[in-house]
Amino acid sequence: MPPTKKIGHIITFCLLAYNASAQQKYVTDTNSFSGYPVVENVFRNPGNTVQTSVYWYWISGNISKEGVVKDLESMKKAGINRAFIGNIEQSDVAQGKVMFLSDEWWDVMHAALKTATKLNIDVGIFNSPGWSQSGGPWIKQSQSMRYLTSSETSVQGGKKITIKLAKPNEKFQDVSVIAFPVPKDYYTNIASYNPVITSNSIQKNIQALMDKDTATEVSIALDSVVNFDIKTEKDFTARSILIYPSHRPIIATIKVQASDGHTFKTIKEITIDRSNSALNVGFDPYGRVAISLPATSSK
């Protein structure tokens, strides 16, 4: 058997954890501070000059006159004297019966404003429905907010063909069709080369790194520097790396290095930030990360 060659890629993950600490001093002897009773009284009984405000989300039409009255009474009891109404649609909440700007909705709004006036609570209203305040029944589907997605189809070049391209999803609008030539090994994956993966600190389940199963994962400790050394028995040319983050927050700096047989040279450095899983940040919070590389072969 010929000697095993290094594929020339060491991937280094530098996981960052942000910790904040502060030293605090507490007043344990209240008698040592003459103004303490005044401070305590203002804290426990804030006056009307202290404005405590909240966002008051009416979610997916699940509202009623009785419900908004009880909400406002609870706000008053808790010392809240200002609320901003936002009509929000949330996909994981069942749709209620009260549609935005319907007669029933106006009845609920009137009950809310009347009760708020009685309780001396200021009420503001978002200018339009939606998290971005840019929705409403007057917005047609073709005018709604959208995101870019794609589908991919492989064809044999050198001739005229007519095909039906795959849909990225059921509701979409064509933006463009891009055709480009690919090398013969375009669909070759290093996983098919039976790579041997070693690490300076990871031993458990390390083969899950390249098992083509996104349900498995390799856990990396916070505040650590981890090297993954990938070896194959024959040359492999890499042009990109796809990384599928586990479904948990991550911030990591990744260095991709290639070996010429003697030394390693960094060919790419990138930071992955999947620390915010909110859908308004991205429609796929833990989507794969694609790292493009200059065509690099092992030596």
Each residue of 159-213: pLDDT tens digit?
888 998 888 877 788 889 998 898 888 888 888 888 889 998 887 888 888 888 8
Which stretches in the chain have pLDDT values below 70? 1-32, 48, 280, 299
Name the nearest CA neighbour of 69 among 106, 103, 112.
Answer: 112
The CATH number that applies at residue 54 is 3.30.750
Domain that holds residue 293: 5-17+182-297
Give, in order, the Cα–Cα distances in Å from 204 to each of 199, 219, 254, 290. 10, 9, 21, 25
pLDDT at 5: 37
Which residues, other chains included, contact 71 with Cβ-Cβ below 8 Å and sequence gap of 6+?
56
Q: Is 251 part of any domain?
A: yes
pLDDT at 23: 40
Q: Is 30 part of any domain?
A: no
Q: Is 77 part of any domain?
A: yes
In this structure, are residues 129 and 89 in contact, taking their beta carbons and an 8 Å threshold?
A: yes
**Domain end among 89, 116, 142:** 142
pLDDT at 28: 54
**Domain end among 142, 168, 201:** 142
Q: Tell the residue number behind the tokens 């620390």, with chain if given.
A: 275
pLDDT at 94: 93
Q: Is 223 part of any domain?
A: yes
77 and 124 co-located in one domain: yes
Domain count within the chain:
2
pLDDT at 10: 47
137 and 215 co-located in one domain: no
Q: Is 33 part of any domain?
A: no
188-250-193 Cα angle (round to 5): 20
Q: Is 175 part of any domain?
A: no
Q: Is 157 part of any domain?
A: no
**Domain end among 142, 164, 197:** 142
133 and 196 co-located in one domain: no
CA-CA distance, 231 to 9, in Å (whole number)? 8
In this structure, are residues 119 and 73 in contact, taking their beta carbons and an 8 Å threshold?
A: yes
Q: Is 93 part of any domain?
A: yes
pLDDT at 234: 85
pLDDT at 6: 39
pLDDT at 299: 54
pLDDT at 24: 43
Name the nearest CA neighbour of 204 among 223, 224, 220.
Answer: 220
CA-CA distance, 56 to 124, in Å (whole number)? 9
Q: Where are the beta strands (DSSP E) in 154-285?
A: 196-199, 225-232, 237-243, 250-259, 264-274
67 and 11 co-located in one domain: no
Distant-in-sequence contacts of 262-271, Cβ < 8 A, 24+ apart: 264/8, 264/10, 267/293, 267/294, 267/296, 268/292, 268/293
